[in-house]
Amino acid sequence: MNSSKIETPAENITVDLGPRSYDILIAPSIIDNVGQLIAERIKTPKVIIISDTNVAPIYMERLSISLSAVGLNYDKIILPAGEGTKSFSNFENLLNNLLELGIERTTTLIALGGGVIGDITGFAASALLRGINYIQVPTSLLAQVDSSVGGKTAINSKIGKNLIGSFYQPRLVIADTETLNTLPRRELLAGYAETVKYALIGDSSFFSWLEINGTSLIQGNHEVRVKAIAKSCSMKARIVAEDERESGKRALLNLGHTFAHALESETGFNNYLLHGEAVAIGIALAFELSTRLNFCSPIESVNVRNHLQAVGLSTFLPKHPTSEWNSKKLVSLMKKDKKSTQGHPAFILAHSIGDAFIAEDIDLNEVDSLLNDIINH
């Protein structure tokens, strides 16, 4: 598609951070207009595209053509696909590769891919030459609704997920909704978990809308996808503008994540359990814990679990890949979460659908009991 065919994005959302504000542009086929959009906003003599072995064969050529069309010089780096890419060794190799390409402070990185590529590219941009520009071009639902927005960048450690990273905002987010057409159903479902999260933390009417339209989103209804992505990004943009570095309200975006990160750590940060799949399980557990502690009614917890299952997400633990699940080990992993204080993890719980809150003093014996019941279900 010729870039001139795209005049305005279907949605334009601004993350208001004063002089570091940036736009989220959402539209079909907007990937063909990336070069023009960069040229209009950022003075950069050179860009470097960072992608992975899944995404590059599908979208690298179109992105490259759009850059060439406006005279931008570019190089490409292609990383292995999967959560395992967010490691120390891969991060070191990426930094060295970028330095060998002769980057300067005027160079701009482009993250073309899902959450993994966005995370590692953003972290590299924050570290190189004490900070260079980067742009997010997310190609997965999870990245379009969540991880590409807000400036959280990180890699994993053997101790836990996303423990090494920085807050570093992109200059622009360009979400091409048609890239979701090539996304496997499993990845779409993983991204849906992050979408419904926004409804659960602060908008019950959005949850009601998703109950009606969630299946259509997964099945490919473009209008529904654009609306869900825009709604999610709008909610995140407001929260990030209010609390950029997660000292308060932004922590609500971690609904389900204290459980999820422990599950991912236990399964080895690989494709056995995708991040969004772990988040779906974590959300169900967070609502069940809220019910057990008398914060919300059982019907709320049941409604959440039923909805996740209705669209195709599991809310139960999968078979352990190597041994058996152990509730005490999972609690121990939660204590190492980056949101813990003095070794005590914070949980995002709920009074009802659309009314989440931060709980920092939960009795871990209650968490252990819940996990033990789920394991022995």
Residues 320-352 have pLDDT tens digits of 999 999 999 999 999 998 888 888 999 999 999
Closest CA to 233 of 63, 18, 22: 22
CA distance 57 to 286: 38
Q: Which of 86, 197, 231, 261 is catalytic?
A: 261
Q: Which of 11, 246, 264, 266 is catalytic?
A: 246
> CA neighbours within 13 Å on the CB side: how many for 298?
1
Closest CA to 185 of 313, 321, 56, 57: 313
What are the residues facing 160 on neighbouring strands? 157
Q: Which of 11, 83, 187, 194 is catalytic?
A: 194
What are the residues facing 76 on neighbouring strands? 49
**What domains, with CATH codes, occur in the chain?**
3-182 (3.40.50.1970), 185-375 (1.20.1090.10)
- The reply to whether 351 belongs to the active site is no
Q: Which of 161, 171, 231, 236 is catalytic?
A: 236
CA distance 325 to 192: 25
- The reply to whether 152 belongs to the active site is yes
CA distance 210 to 205: 9
- The reply to whether 105 belongs to the active site is no
Structure token digits, residue 204: 């019950």
Structure token digits, residue 127: 């570290």
pLDDT number for residue 7: 46
The CA dihedral of 326, 317, 232, 361, to the nearest 10 degrees, is: -30
261: CB partners within 8 A, 6+ apart: 160, 161, 162, 278, 333, 334, 337
pLDDT number for residue 80: 97
- The reply to whether 178 belongs to the active site is no
pLDDT number for residue 8: 59
Q: CA angle, corner 193, sides to 188 and 198, nearest 5?
A: 125
Tens-digit pLDDT profile for residues 130-162: 999 999 999 999 999 999 999 999 999 999 999
Q: Which of 86, 275, 305, 339 is catalytic?
A: 275
Q: Which of 43, 130, 319, 377 is catalytic?
A: 130
Q: Which of 197, 225, 227, 257 is catalytic?
A: 257
- The reply to whether 246 belongs to the active site is yes
- The reply to whether 54 belongs to the active site is no
Task: State the 10-residue block means of pLDDT for the chain, 377 residues long.
Answer: 52 97 97 96 94 98 98 97 96 98 97 98 98 98 98 95 96 98 97 98 98 98 97 98 95 97 94 96 98 98 98 96 95 91 94 97 97 93
pLDDT number for residue 339: 81
- The reply to whether 307 belongs to the active site is no
pTM score, two decimals?
0.95
- The reply to whether 236 belongs to the active site is yes
